[in-house]
Amino acid sequence: EVDLEDAYFLAAEVGSWGTAAEAAVRLIYTVGYKRADHVGGYRWGRQADVALAMLGDADASLRRADVLNSLAMVQLSTGAYAEAMASHERALTIREQALGPEHPLVADSLNNLANVHIDRGANDEAEALLRRAQSIWEKALGPDHPDVALSLNNLAIIRCSTGDYDEARALYERAHHNLVNALGPNHPHVARALNNVAEVHRSTGAYVEAKALYERAGAIWEAVHGPEHPDVAASLNNLAAAHRALGEYAEAKAIGERALAILTKAHGPEHTHVATSTHNLGNVYRSMGELDEAETRYRRALAIWEKVHGPDDPRLAYPLTGLAEVALDRGRPGEALPLVRRALTIRERGGEAKERRAESQFVLARALWDASEGAPDERARALALARDAREVWRATEGYDDELAALERWLAAREAAPED
């Protein structure tokens, strides 16, 4: 970082504004994203503007796209989705006009813009951009280039979110192979690929395998970025979820609290990634039977996501379902009903994976049964919802524990459906 700062000011002194602009672009990324000093990153964005204004030639246009891309990474890391999208769209337009629609740098902008859509949950828009980026990169650079792996990684994220785990696994493994061959085993892009393969393992119930991969990814990120970087926190969040799934609640709590502290320090308390970490801790506390703490975490996550993304965002279904389960654990099915009904409506409208919808269906079934006071129609509906969820989970990897609990619940009530 110091070397880059020296390069900027030395270049500025001798009027080498192209070199100064290049150093400023790298400093936006290094300071604003890698070190998570967002104010410092934006300051170097202004320094880049100075260099570009002094450069004043045709090359300044393409350099402007580089500045916009780096600024967008900082904006995205702060949760400023609209600003990040606008920056990437401007960079894409500049590159298309200057280089033509089939240039690899155009694919880079397409991939970057897709990342914003993925973070927003707009998977259809993201996939269209990624397919175009993949096609450009494969044609220009060959199918084994690491840039192709970036688009494969992002496509796999979409597949995982919709429950297409076999396709997600194949995409992730191809991306990981390409990245290791091109960049070596300790590159941050390899860490991201390892983290993503682990996500498939966790989603399909292979928690021990997932835990090992999360630990490897986290070690790479920590070696590259230091222990307080948001990428390290992302890996810790996932590792905590694997510990929770294995019943290792003390470990999950400690790791999850560390992740939350890192993210809050890096992004502030209102960031969407802080909400994710907060929600995950709610799950841990509910598993431990600490219902008051679980409720506090779920409500905090819900408030952040609703503020950032609006009242219909698919993420809201997670804390809403969690709050409904807390209410059921307290013996208050009437409180659970509006929460889980809203969660299920959001999941149905958002096209979320059917196994996620089944989670809310089973919670709704339990709430209807417990709130019905023996009403036959409500109890019949509860049984129908539970049976639908059972069929989904029977056909889905990674839901053995949930399916076993559902089977026990159904068996007890189908034997005596009325009080």
* Cα 373 from Cα 370, distance rounded (Å): 7
pLDDT at 278 over 80: yes
The enclosing domain of 384 has a CATH number of 1.25.40.10
Strands of 245-366 (E only): list them: none
* In a domain? residue 415: yes
49 and 141 part of one domain: no
Lowest mean pLDDT among 275-279, 304-308, 315-319: 304-308
Last residue within a domain, chosen from 58, 80, 98: 98
Place of tokens 């104010």: 39
- The domain containing residue 82 runs over which residues? 1-98
pLDDT at residue number 416: 62
One-letter amino acid for residue 387 of the chain: R
35 and 106 part of one domain: no
pLDDT at 418 over 70: no
One-letter amino acid for residue 284 of the chain: V
66 and 114 part of one domain: no
Mean pLDDT of 242-249: 95
Report the domain count for the chain.
3
Rg of the chain (C-alpha set): 24
pLDDT at 210 over 90: yes
Confidence of residue 17 (pLDDT cuts 50, 70, 90): confident
- The Cβ of residue 244 has, within 10 Å, a number of other Cβ atoms equal to 23
Q: What digits encode the pLDDT tens for the residues 342-396?
A: 999 999 887 777 999 999 999 999 999 999 877 889 999 999 999 999 999 999 8
Q: What digits encode the pLDDT tens for the residues 62-118?
A: 889 999 999 998 898 777 888 999 999 999 999 999 999 999 999 999 999 999 998
* Cα 296 from Cα 337, distance rounded (Å): 19
One-letter amino acid for residue 296 of the chain: T
Closest C-alpha among 149, 228, 218 to residue 186: 218
The whole model's pTM is what? 0.76
